[in-house]
Chain A
Protein backbone atom coordinates (compact mmCIF):
# COMPACT_ATOMS: atom_id res chain seq x y z
CA UNK A 1 0.00 0.00 0.00
CA UNK A 2 2.95 2.36 0.60
CA UNK A 3 3.74 1.96 -3.10
CA UNK A 4 0.72 4.21 -3.65
CA UNK A 5 2.61 7.07 -2.02
CA UNK A 6 5.10 6.94 -4.90
CA UNK A 7 2.57 6.14 -7.61
CA UNK A 8 -0.18 8.59 -6.70
CA UNK A 9 1.77 11.88 -7.05
CA UNK A 10 3.34 10.60 -10.25
CA UNK A 11 -0.02 9.62 -11.73
CA UNK A 12 -1.40 12.93 -10.48
CA UNK A 13 1.10 14.92 -12.50
CA UNK A 14 0.46 12.63 -15.46
CA UNK A 15 -3.31 13.11 -15.32
CA UNK A 16 -3.01 16.87 -14.87
CA UNK A 17 -1.11 17.03 -18.15
CA UNK A 18 -3.72 15.18 -20.19
CA UNK A 19 -5.94 17.28 -22.51
CA UNK A 20 -8.55 19.70 -21.06
CA UNK A 21 -5.86 22.06 -19.82
CA UNK A 22 -8.32 24.64 -18.61
CA UNK A 23 -10.11 22.26 -16.27
CA UNK A 24 -6.81 20.79 -15.11
CA UNK A 25 -5.40 24.18 -14.23
CA UNK A 26 -8.26 24.84 -11.89
CA UNK A 27 -7.99 21.36 -10.43
CA UNK A 28 -4.22 21.35 -9.88
CA UNK A 29 -4.22 23.05 -6.47
CA UNK A 30 -6.98 20.82 -5.14
CA UNK A 31 -5.43 17.61 -6.46
CA UNK A 32 -2.02 18.42 -4.94
CA UNK A 33 -3.46 19.51 -1.60
CA UNK A 34 -5.60 16.38 -1.41
CA UNK A 35 -2.63 14.12 -2.18
CA UNK A 36 -0.39 15.76 0.44
CA UNK A 37 -3.11 15.69 3.09
CA UNK A 38 -3.80 12.03 2.30
CA UNK A 39 -0.12 11.27 2.77
CA UNK A 40 -0.19 12.81 6.24
CA UNK A 41 -3.41 10.98 7.08
CA UNK A 42 -1.97 7.62 6.02
CA UNK A 43 0.90 8.03 8.47
CA UNK A 44 -1.06 9.55 11.35
CA UNK A 45 -4.16 7.35 11.35
CA UNK A 46 -3.38 3.62 11.38
CA UNK A 47 -7.01 2.69 10.68
CA UNK A 48 -7.25 4.93 7.63
CA UNK A 49 -9.04 3.32 4.69
CA UNK A 50 -6.00 3.34 2.42
CA UNK A 51 -3.98 1.42 4.99
CA UNK A 52 -6.29 -1.56 4.57
CA UNK A 53 -5.41 -2.14 0.91
CA UNK A 54 -3.83 -5.52 0.47
CA UNK A 55 -0.22 -5.15 -0.78
CA UNK A 56 -0.66 -8.19 -3.02
CA UNK A 57 -3.30 -6.32 -5.03
CA UNK A 58 -0.71 -3.72 -6.03
CA UNK A 59 2.10 -6.15 -6.73
CA UNK A 60 0.83 -6.71 -10.28
CA UNK A 61 1.29 -3.11 -11.37
CA UNK A 62 4.17 -1.98 -9.23
CA UNK A 63 6.47 -4.69 -8.01
CA UNK A 64 8.96 -3.01 -5.78
CA UNK A 65 10.56 -4.01 -2.54
CA UNK A 66 9.59 -1.31 -0.08
CA UNK A 67 10.32 -1.05 3.59
CA UNK A 68 8.67 1.06 6.26
CA UNK A 69 9.87 1.72 9.78
CA UNK A 70 9.55 4.51 12.34
CA UNK A 71 12.16 6.66 10.59
CA UNK A 72 10.50 6.43 7.17
CA UNK A 73 7.15 7.28 8.74
CA UNK A 74 8.61 10.47 10.21
CA UNK A 75 10.06 11.36 6.81
CA UNK A 76 6.82 10.60 4.93
CA UNK A 77 4.85 12.77 7.31
CA UNK A 78 7.34 15.65 7.00
CA UNK A 79 7.24 15.36 3.21
CA UNK A 80 3.45 15.63 3.17
CA UNK A 81 3.41 18.53 5.60
CA UNK A 82 6.14 20.60 3.95
CA UNK A 83 4.75 19.94 0.47
CA UNK A 84 1.34 21.14 1.66
CA UNK A 85 2.64 24.40 3.13
CA UNK A 86 4.81 24.93 0.04
CA UNK A 87 1.72 24.62 -2.11
CA UNK A 88 -0.06 27.25 0.00
CA UNK A 89 3.00 29.54 -0.21
CA UNK A 90 3.21 29.12 -3.97
CA UNK A 91 -0.44 29.97 -4.42
CA UNK A 92 0.20 33.21 -2.53
CA UNK A 93 3.33 34.23 -4.42
CA UNK A 94 2.64 33.03 -7.96
CA UNK A 95 -0.01 35.16 -9.58
CA UNK A 96 -0.04 33.64 -13.04
CA UNK A 97 -2.28 30.59 -13.54
CA UNK A 98 0.31 28.86 -15.74
CA UNK A 99 3.01 29.32 -13.12
CA UNK A 100 0.80 27.88 -10.41
CA UNK A 101 0.02 24.89 -12.59
CA UNK A 102 3.69 24.25 -13.46
CA UNK A 103 4.77 24.64 -9.85
CA UNK A 104 2.16 22.13 -8.69
CA UNK A 105 3.35 19.65 -11.32
CA UNK A 106 7.02 19.91 -10.38
CA UNK A 107 6.07 19.67 -6.71
CA UNK A 108 4.18 16.43 -7.36
CA UNK A 109 7.20 14.92 -9.12
CA UNK A 110 9.51 16.00 -6.29
CA UNK A 111 7.20 14.49 -3.68
CA UNK A 112 6.97 11.25 -5.65
CA UNK A 113 10.78 11.11 -5.81
CA UNK A 114 11.17 11.77 -2.10
CA UNK A 115 8.63 9.15 -1.11
CA UNK A 116 10.64 6.80 -3.30
CA UNK A 117 13.88 7.70 -1.53
CA UNK A 118 12.27 7.05 1.82
CA UNK A 119 10.76 3.71 0.86
CA UNK A 120 13.37 2.18 -1.45
CA UNK A 121 15.15 -0.96 -0.29
CA UNK A 122 17.54 -1.14 -3.21
CA UNK A 123 20.59 1.03 -3.64
CA UNK A 124 20.05 1.67 -7.34
CA UNK A 125 16.36 2.58 -7.10
CA UNK A 126 17.36 4.86 -4.27
CA UNK A 127 19.76 6.58 -6.65
CA UNK A 128 17.09 6.91 -9.34
CA UNK A 129 14.64 8.50 -6.89
CA UNK A 130 17.39 10.80 -5.64
CA UNK A 131 17.92 12.05 -9.15
CA UNK A 132 14.18 12.56 -9.71
CA UNK A 133 14.11 14.73 -6.58
CA UNK A 134 17.28 16.57 -7.60
CA UNK A 135 15.98 17.36 -11.10
CA UNK A 136 12.71 18.64 -9.67
CA UNK A 137 14.61 20.86 -7.24
CA UNK A 138 16.81 22.29 -10.03
CA UNK A 139 13.63 23.40 -11.75
CA UNK A 140 12.20 24.78 -8.52
CA UNK A 141 15.30 26.92 -7.86
CA UNK A 142 15.36 28.36 -11.38
CA UNK A 143 11.57 28.64 -11.44
CA UNK A 144 11.32 32.41 -11.90
CA UNK A 145 14.09 32.40 -14.54
CA UNK A 146 15.73 35.31 -12.73
CA UNK A 147 19.45 35.88 -12.87
CA UNK A 148 20.28 34.94 -9.29
CA UNK A 149 18.00 31.92 -9.33
CA UNK A 150 19.71 30.61 -12.47
CA UNK A 151 23.12 31.10 -10.90
CA UNK A 152 22.09 29.27 -7.72
CA UNK A 153 20.57 26.49 -9.80
CA UNK A 154 23.75 26.09 -11.86
CA UNK A 155 25.88 25.78 -8.73
CA UNK A 156 23.48 23.20 -7.33
CA UNK A 157 23.46 21.26 -10.62
CA UNK A 158 27.25 21.19 -10.73
CA UNK A 159 27.77 20.02 -7.15
CA UNK A 160 24.86 17.62 -7.36
CA UNK A 161 26.36 16.07 -10.50
CA UNK A 162 29.66 15.59 -8.72
CA UNK A 163 27.76 13.93 -5.87
CA UNK A 164 26.09 11.75 -8.52
CA UNK A 165 29.47 10.69 -9.88
CA UNK A 166 30.73 9.78 -6.40
CA UNK A 167 27.52 7.94 -5.66
CA UNK A 168 27.50 5.88 -8.86
CA UNK A 169 31.13 4.96 -8.22
CA UNK A 170 30.15 3.80 -4.73
CA UNK A 171 27.22 1.83 -6.13
CA UNK A 172 29.49 0.20 -8.73
CA UNK A 173 31.94 -0.91 -6.03
CA UNK A 174 29.15 -2.26 -3.80
CA UNK A 175 27.79 -4.06 -6.87
CA UNK A 176 31.26 -5.46 -7.59
CA UNK A 177 31.68 -7.01 -4.14
CA UNK A 178 28.12 -8.28 -3.69
CA UNK A 179 26.74 -8.91 -7.18
CA UNK A 180 23.45 -7.23 -6.30
CA UNK A 181 21.99 -3.87 -5.42
CA UNK A 182 19.54 -4.93 -2.74
CA UNK A 183 20.25 -3.60 0.76
CA UNK A 184 19.97 -6.98 2.48
CA UNK A 185 22.21 -8.79 -0.05
CA UNK A 186 24.91 -6.11 0.11
CA UNK A 187 24.70 -6.06 3.89
CA UNK A 188 25.27 -9.78 4.20
CA UNK A 189 28.03 -9.68 1.57
CA UNK A 190 29.80 -6.94 3.53
CA UNK A 191 29.47 -8.93 6.75
CA UNK A 192 30.88 -12.03 5.11
CA UNK A 193 34.01 -10.34 3.80
CA UNK A 194 36.70 -8.52 5.67
CA UNK A 195 36.62 -4.77 5.31
CA UNK A 196 38.92 -4.60 2.34
CA UNK A 197 40.25 -1.43 0.75
CA UNK A 198 37.58 -1.65 -1.95
CA UNK A 199 34.70 -1.68 0.53
CA UNK A 200 36.14 1.19 2.55
CA UNK A 201 36.57 3.17 -0.67
CA UNK A 202 32.95 2.48 -1.63
CA UNK A 203 31.71 3.63 1.79
CA UNK A 204 33.88 6.76 1.65
CA UNK A 205 32.62 7.66 -1.84
CA UNK A 206 29.00 7.16 -0.86
CA UNK A 207 29.27 9.10 2.39
CA UNK A 208 31.02 12.07 0.77
CA UNK A 209 28.36 12.15 -1.97
CA UNK A 210 25.71 12.35 0.76
CA UNK A 211 27.62 15.08 2.60
CA UNK A 212 27.46 17.17 -0.60
CA UNK A 213 23.75 16.45 -1.04
CA UNK A 214 23.03 17.24 2.60
CA UNK A 215 25.06 20.47 2.50
CA UNK A 216 27.33 19.65 5.44
CA UNK A 217 30.04 22.09 6.25
CA UNK A 218 33.10 21.32 4.13
CA UNK A 219 30.77 20.66 1.16
CA UNK A 220 28.17 23.35 1.79
CA UNK A 221 29.14 25.79 -0.99
CA UNK A 222 25.95 25.44 -3.00
CA UNK A 223 23.45 25.53 -0.16
CA UNK A 224 23.27 29.21 0.89
CA UNK A 225 23.36 30.30 -2.76
CA UNK A 226 20.63 27.92 -3.86
CA UNK A 227 18.36 28.61 -0.87
CA UNK A 228 18.69 32.37 -0.89
CA UNK A 229 18.34 32.80 -4.65
CA UNK A 230 15.37 30.45 -5.06
CA UNK A 231 11.82 31.84 -5.20
CA UNK A 232 10.05 31.97 -1.84
CA UNK A 233 7.97 28.81 -2.18
CA UNK A 234 10.91 26.79 -3.51
CA UNK A 235 13.17 27.73 -0.63
CA UNK A 236 10.49 26.67 1.84
CA UNK A 237 10.39 23.28 0.13
CA UNK A 238 14.17 22.87 -0.28
CA UNK A 239 15.09 23.91 3.24
CA UNK A 240 12.15 22.10 4.76
CA UNK A 241 12.56 18.67 3.30
CA UNK A 242 14.64 18.16 0.13
CA UNK A 243 18.13 18.35 1.64
CA UNK A 244 17.04 16.21 4.54
CA UNK A 245 15.46 13.51 2.38
CA UNK A 246 18.27 13.52 -0.17
CA UNK A 247 21.21 13.86 2.20
CA UNK A 248 20.52 13.07 5.81
CA UNK A 249 17.87 10.39 5.45
CA UNK A 250 19.83 8.45 2.81
CA UNK A 251 22.89 8.61 5.02
CA UNK A 252 20.98 7.22 8.01
CA UNK A 253 19.37 4.53 5.85
CA UNK A 254 22.75 3.55 4.42
CA UNK A 255 24.35 3.34 7.87
CA UNK A 256 21.47 1.40 9.34
CA UNK A 257 20.70 -1.13 6.64
CA UNK A 258 23.81 -1.21 4.45
CA UNK A 259 27.15 -0.83 6.20
CA UNK A 260 26.46 -0.63 9.94
CA UNK A 261 28.10 1.75 12.40
CA UNK A 262 31.86 1.36 12.61
CA UNK A 263 34.02 3.39 14.97
CA UNK A 264 35.68 5.33 12.14
CA UNK A 265 32.35 6.23 10.56
CA UNK A 266 30.98 7.36 13.89
CA UNK A 267 33.93 9.65 14.54
CA UNK A 268 33.74 11.10 11.01
CA UNK A 269 30.00 11.80 11.40
CA UNK A 270 30.44 13.33 14.84
CA UNK A 271 33.29 15.54 13.68
CA UNK A 272 31.49 16.74 10.53
CA UNK A 273 28.31 17.26 12.54
CA UNK A 274 30.00 19.30 15.27
CA UNK A 275 31.98 21.29 12.69
CA UNK A 276 28.80 22.14 10.71
CA UNK A 277 26.85 22.95 13.87
CA UNK A 278 29.42 25.45 15.15
CA UNK A 279 30.75 26.99 11.92
CA UNK A 280 27.25 27.19 10.42
CA UNK A 281 26.06 29.08 13.50
CA UNK A 282 29.04 31.46 13.42
CA UNK A 283 28.51 32.10 9.70
CA UNK A 284 24.83 32.78 10.39
CA UNK A 285 25.79 35.37 13.03
CA UNK A 286 27.60 37.47 10.44
CA UNK A 287 24.82 37.54 7.82
CA UNK A 288 22.57 40.51 7.14
CA UNK A 289 20.54 38.82 4.40
CA UNK A 290 17.45 37.21 6.00
CA UNK A 291 17.32 34.12 3.77
CA UNK A 292 21.09 33.60 3.74
CA UNK A 293 21.13 33.63 7.50
CA UNK A 294 18.39 31.00 7.57
CA UNK A 295 20.40 28.88 5.10
CA UNK A 296 23.47 28.91 7.34
CA UNK A 297 21.20 28.10 10.24
CA UNK A 298 20.00 25.08 8.21
CA UNK A 299 23.59 23.89 7.85
CA UNK A 300 24.06 24.23 11.58
CA UNK A 301 20.86 22.31 12.38
CA UNK A 302 21.76 19.52 9.94
CA UNK A 303 25.02 19.33 11.89
CA UNK A 304 22.91 18.62 14.98
CA UNK A 305 21.08 15.84 13.19
CA UNK A 306 24.46 14.35 12.23
CA UNK A 307 25.58 14.52 15.86
CA UNK A 308 22.51 12.49 16.81
CA UNK A 309 23.11 9.96 14.03
CA UNK A 310 26.82 9.70 14.84
CA UNK A 311 26.16 8.23 18.28
CA UNK A 312 24.88 5.07 16.62
CA UNK A 313 22.45 4.41 19.48
CA UNK A 314 18.67 4.11 19.46
CA UNK A 315 18.36 7.27 21.54
CA UNK A 316 20.58 9.27 19.18
CA UNK A 317 18.68 8.05 16.13
CA UNK A 318 15.33 8.93 17.72
CA UNK A 319 16.69 12.38 18.56
CA UNK A 320 17.91 12.82 15.00
CA UNK A 321 14.53 11.80 13.58
CA UNK A 322 12.72 14.14 15.94
CA UNK A 323 15.08 16.95 14.99
CA UNK A 324 14.44 16.23 11.29
CA UNK A 325 10.72 16.67 11.97
CA UNK A 326 11.21 19.80 14.09
CA UNK A 327 13.60 21.33 11.63
CA UNK A 328 11.18 20.67 8.77
CA UNK A 329 8.49 22.51 10.75
CA UNK A 330 10.37 25.52 12.05
CA UNK A 331 12.65 26.10 9.08
CA UNK A 332 9.70 26.07 6.65
CA UNK A 333 7.98 28.48 9.04
CA UNK A 334 10.97 30.83 9.18
CA UNK A 335 11.44 30.78 5.41
CA UNK A 336 7.76 31.68 5.03
CA UNK A 337 8.25 34.56 7.49
CA UNK A 338 11.24 35.79 5.47
CA UNK A 339 9.17 35.53 2.29
CA UNK A 340 6.34 37.54 3.84
CA UNK A 341 8.78 40.23 5.01
CA UNK A 342 10.51 40.34 1.63
CA UNK A 343 7.17 40.65 -0.15
CA UNK A 344 6.06 43.53 2.09
CA UNK A 345 9.36 45.44 2.15
CA UNK A 346 10.98 44.50 -1.15
CA UNK A 347 14.31 43.80 0.54
CA UNK A 348 15.96 41.01 2.53
CA UNK A 349 18.56 43.19 4.24
CA UNK A 350 17.89 42.86 7.96
CA UNK A 351 19.89 45.99 8.80
CA UNK A 352 17.23 48.12 7.07
CA UNK A 353 14.31 46.58 8.94
CA UNK A 354 12.98 47.11 12.44
CA UNK A 355 9.77 47.18 14.42
CA UNK A 356 7.84 45.07 11.92
CA UNK A 357 6.16 43.17 14.75
CA UNK A 358 3.55 45.89 15.15
CA UNK A 359 2.74 45.95 11.43
CA UNK A 360 2.85 42.19 10.81
CA UNK A 361 1.66 40.62 14.08
CA UNK A 362 1.11 37.06 12.83
CA UNK A 363 4.42 36.91 10.98
CA UNK A 364 6.22 38.34 13.99
CA UNK A 365 4.63 35.97 16.49
CA UNK A 366 5.15 32.81 14.43
CA UNK A 367 8.74 33.74 13.65
CA UNK A 368 9.44 34.17 17.37
CA UNK A 369 7.98 30.68 17.90
CA UNK A 370 10.12 29.25 15.07
CA UNK A 371 13.32 30.92 16.22
CA UNK A 372 12.91 29.90 19.85
CA UNK A 373 12.10 26.34 18.80
CA UNK A 374 15.25 26.32 16.65
CA UNK A 375 17.32 27.62 19.56
CA UNK A 376 15.91 24.89 21.81
CA UNK A 377 13.90 26.87 24.34
CA UNK A 378 11.37 24.84 26.35
CA UNK A 379 8.48 24.12 25.99
CA UNK A 380 8.79 24.35 22.20
CA UNK A 381 9.36 21.27 20.06
CA UNK A 382 13.01 22.01 19.27
CA UNK A 383 13.92 21.75 22.94
CA UNK A 384 13.04 18.07 23.18
CA UNK A 385 14.96 16.97 20.08
CA UNK A 386 18.08 18.88 21.12
CA UNK A 387 17.78 17.51 24.64
CA UNK A 388 17.55 13.94 23.36
CA UNK A 389 20.53 14.43 21.06
CA UNK A 390 22.65 15.88 23.87
CA UNK A 391 21.64 13.14 26.31
CA UNK A 392 22.41 10.51 23.65
CA UNK A 393 25.86 12.04 23.05
CA UNK A 394 26.57 12.14 26.78
CA UNK A 395 25.41 8.60 27.49
CA UNK A 396 27.28 7.19 24.49
CA UNK A 397 30.48 8.59 25.97
CA UNK A 398 31.05 11.48 23.56
CA UNK A 399 31.11 14.12 26.28
CA UNK A 400 33.16 16.68 24.36
CA UNK A 401 30.64 16.62 21.53
CA UNK A 402 27.79 17.03 24.03
CA UNK A 403 29.44 20.22 25.30
CA UNK A 404 29.97 21.43 21.72
CA UNK A 405 26.28 20.78 21.02
CA UNK A 406 25.26 22.93 23.99
CA UNK A 407 27.63 25.70 22.84
CA UNK A 408 26.12 25.53 19.36
CA UNK A 409 22.69 25.93 20.90
CA UNK A 410 23.81 29.12 22.63
CA UNK A 411 25.13 30.45 19.31
CA UNK A 412 21.80 29.57 17.68
CA UNK A 413 19.99 31.58 20.33
CA UNK A 414 22.42 34.46 19.76
CA UNK A 415 21.84 34.79 16.02
CA UNK A 416 18.10 34.33 16.25
CA UNK A 417 17.78 36.93 18.99
CA UNK A 418 19.79 39.43 16.97
CA UNK A 419 17.62 38.63 13.94
CA UNK A 420 14.39 39.09 15.89
CA UNK A 421 15.63 42.33 17.41
CA UNK A 422 16.63 43.83 14.09
CA UNK A 423 13.53 42.71 12.17
CA UNK A 424 10.47 42.52 14.39
CA UNK A 425 11.35 44.54 17.50
CA UNK A 426 12.74 48.00 18.01
CA UNK A 427 11.70 51.21 16.30
CA UNK A 428 9.72 51.11 13.09
CA UNK A 429 11.50 52.58 10.10
CA UNK A 430 9.40 55.53 8.84
CA UNK A 431 9.38 54.40 5.21
CA UNK A 432 7.76 51.10 6.19
CA UNK A 433 4.80 52.73 7.97
CA UNK A 434 2.27 51.55 5.40
CA UNK A 435 3.20 47.92 5.03
CA UNK A 436 0.51 45.31 5.56
CA UNK A 437 0.37 41.76 6.82
CA UNK A 438 0.56 39.01 4.19
CA UNK A 439 -2.59 37.41 2.77
CA UNK A 440 -4.54 34.53 4.22
CA UNK A 441 -3.00 31.80 2.04
CA UNK A 442 0.39 32.58 3.58
CA UNK A 443 -0.87 33.23 7.12
CA UNK A 444 -2.76 29.93 7.28
CA UNK A 445 0.34 27.69 6.84
CA UNK A 446 2.32 29.95 9.20
CA UNK A 447 -0.29 29.57 11.93
CA UNK A 448 -0.54 25.82 11.23
CA UNK A 449 3.21 25.31 11.63
CA UNK A 450 3.33 27.59 14.69
CA UNK A 451 0.61 25.53 16.34
CA UNK A 452 2.44 22.32 15.48
CA UNK A 453 5.68 23.64 17.03
CA UNK A 454 3.86 24.60 20.22
CA UNK A 455 1.62 21.53 20.33
CA UNK A 456 4.40 19.02 19.75
CA UNK A 457 6.50 20.76 22.39
CA UNK A 458 3.75 20.53 24.99
CA UNK A 459 2.32 17.10 24.23
CA UNK A 460 5.45 15.24 23.11
CA UNK A 461 6.60 14.26 26.65
CA UNK A 462 3.42 12.16 26.95
CA UNK A 463 4.45 9.89 24.07
CA UNK A 464 8.22 10.37 24.16
CA UNK A 465 9.10 6.90 25.47
CA UNK A 466 6.85 5.25 22.89
CA UNK A 467 8.45 7.33 20.13
CA UNK A 468 11.99 6.42 21.19
CA UNK A 469 11.16 2.73 21.64
CA UNK A 470 9.79 2.55 18.10
CA UNK A 471 13.34 3.21 16.88
CA UNK A 472 14.55 -0.08 18.29
CA UNK A 473 13.18 -1.71 15.16
CA UNK A 474 15.09 0.72 12.92
CA UNK A 475 18.41 -0.43 14.27
CA UNK A 476 17.24 -4.02 13.95
CA UNK A 477 17.76 -4.63 17.66
Chain B
Protein backbone atom coordinates (compact mmCIF):
# COMPACT_ATOMS: atom_id res chain seq x y z
CA UNK B 1 0.00 0.00 0.00
CA UNK B 2 2.82 2.37 0.92
CA UNK B 3 4.53 1.68 -2.38
CA UNK B 4 1.28 2.37 -4.25
CA UNK B 5 1.23 5.85 -2.70
CA UNK B 6 4.82 6.42 -3.77
CA UNK B 7 4.03 5.23 -7.30
CA UNK B 8 1.20 7.75 -7.60
CA UNK B 9 3.38 10.47 -6.07
CA UNK B 10 6.18 9.80 -8.55
CA UNK B 11 3.71 9.75 -11.44
CA UNK B 12 2.33 13.14 -10.41
CA UNK B 13 5.84 14.59 -10.06
CA UNK B 14 6.83 13.22 -13.47
CA UNK B 15 3.75 14.54 -15.26
CA UNK B 16 4.17 17.93 -13.60
CA UNK B 17 7.83 17.97 -14.62
CA UNK B 18 6.94 17.33 -18.27
CA UNK B 19 4.12 19.85 -18.38
CA UNK B 20 5.77 22.69 -16.45
CA UNK B 21 8.97 23.10 -18.40
CA UNK B 22 10.10 24.04 -21.90
CA UNK B 23 13.61 22.69 -21.39
CA UNK B 24 14.20 19.51 -23.41
CA UNK B 25 16.56 17.96 -20.83
CA UNK B 26 14.04 18.57 -18.05
CA UNK B 27 11.33 16.93 -20.15
CA UNK B 28 13.58 13.87 -20.41
CA UNK B 29 14.12 13.93 -16.64
CA UNK B 30 10.34 13.96 -16.22
CA UNK B 31 10.09 10.90 -18.47
CA UNK B 32 12.77 9.21 -16.35
CA UNK B 33 10.74 9.87 -13.20
CA UNK B 34 7.66 8.38 -14.84
CA UNK B 35 9.57 5.24 -15.81
CA UNK B 36 10.93 4.99 -12.25
CA UNK B 37 7.38 5.14 -10.93
CA UNK B 38 6.23 2.18 -13.02
CA UNK B 39 9.41 0.27 -12.20
CA UNK B 40 8.50 0.66 -8.55
CA UNK B 41 5.04 -0.62 -9.43
CA UNK B 42 6.56 -3.83 -10.79
CA UNK B 43 8.55 -4.36 -7.59
CA UNK B 44 5.41 -3.75 -5.54
CA UNK B 45 3.49 -6.24 -7.68
CA UNK B 46 6.25 -8.83 -7.25
CA UNK B 47 6.21 -8.38 -3.50
CA UNK B 48 2.44 -8.65 -3.40
CA UNK B 49 2.22 -11.95 -5.31
CA UNK B 50 5.44 -13.41 -3.92
CA UNK B 51 7.20 -13.69 -7.28
CA UNK B 52 10.11 -11.43 -6.42
CA UNK B 53 12.69 -13.20 -8.62
CA UNK B 54 10.75 -12.53 -11.81
CA UNK B 55 10.09 -8.95 -10.72
CA UNK B 56 13.80 -8.36 -10.15
CA UNK B 57 14.66 -9.77 -13.56
CA UNK B 58 12.11 -7.48 -15.20
CA UNK B 59 13.31 -4.43 -13.31
CA UNK B 60 16.92 -4.97 -14.33
CA UNK B 61 15.87 -5.32 -17.98
CA UNK B 62 13.75 -2.17 -17.78
CA UNK B 63 16.66 -0.19 -16.34
CA UNK B 64 18.95 -1.33 -19.16
CA UNK B 65 16.37 -0.46 -21.85
CA UNK B 66 15.70 2.91 -20.25
CA UNK B 67 19.38 3.80 -20.32
CA UNK B 68 19.56 2.94 -24.02
CA UNK B 69 16.53 5.10 -24.81
CA UNK B 70 17.89 8.01 -22.80
CA UNK B 71 21.27 7.77 -24.55
CA UNK B 72 19.57 8.12 -27.93
CA UNK B 73 17.28 10.87 -26.63
CA UNK B 74 20.15 12.93 -25.23
CA UNK B 75 22.02 12.43 -28.50
CA UNK B 76 19.04 13.87 -30.35
CA UNK B 77 18.87 16.78 -27.91
CA UNK B 78 22.56 17.52 -28.52
CA UNK B 79 21.82 17.53 -32.25
CA UNK B 80 18.93 19.96 -31.74
CA UNK B 81 21.16 22.18 -29.64
CA UNK B 82 23.72 22.34 -32.46
CA UNK B 83 21.11 23.84 -34.79
CA UNK B 84 19.31 26.16 -32.36
CA UNK B 85 21.89 26.98 -29.70
CA UNK B 86 19.07 26.54 -27.25
CA UNK B 87 17.20 23.80 -25.44
CA UNK B 88 13.87 25.63 -25.51
CA UNK B 89 11.10 23.42 -26.89
CA UNK B 90 9.23 26.51 -28.13
CA UNK B 91 11.96 27.01 -30.71
CA UNK B 92 11.65 23.59 -32.33
CA UNK B 93 8.18 23.90 -33.77
CA UNK B 94 9.02 23.79 -37.45
CA UNK B 95 6.92 20.70 -38.13
CA UNK B 96 3.28 21.61 -38.38
CA UNK B 97 0.11 20.80 -40.25
Contact = CB atoms under 8 A, between A and B. Distances in A.
A131 B72 CA distance: 12
Contact of B65 (A128, A138, A228): A128
Contact of A168 (B46, B62, B76, B95): B62
Contacts of A473: none
- Chain B interface residue number, banded: 35 or more
Nearest to B34: A165
Contacts of A184: none
B95 A152 contact: yes
Contacts, number: 106
Interface in B37-80: 37-39, 41-42, 44-46, 48-51, 54-55, 58, 61-62, 65, 68-69, 72-73, 75-77, 79-80
Interface in A413-465: none
Given A138-B72, A161-B35, A148 B95 contact: yes
Interface residues of A, number: 40
A150 B76 contact: yes
Interface string A160-195: 011011001101110110011100000000000000
A147 interface: yes
Most chain A beta-carbon neighbours within 10 Å: one of B34, B48, B50: B34
Nearest to B27: A158
Nearest to A136: B72
B55 A175 contact: yes
Interface of A: 124, 128, 131, 134-135, 138-139, 142, 145, 147-148, 150-155, 157-158, 161-162, 164-165, 168-169, 171-173, 175-176, 179-181, 224-225, 228-229, 287, 289, 292
Given A131-B65, A147-B94, A287-B97, 4 more contacts: A154-B73, A161-B31, A224-B97, A229-B95
19 contacts: A135-B68, A135-B69, A138-B73, A142-B76, A148-B94, A151-B92, A153-B76, A154-B24, A154-B76, A154-B92, A157-B69, A157-B72, A161-B35, A165-B31, A173-B41, A176-B48, A179-B49, A180-B51, A224-B97
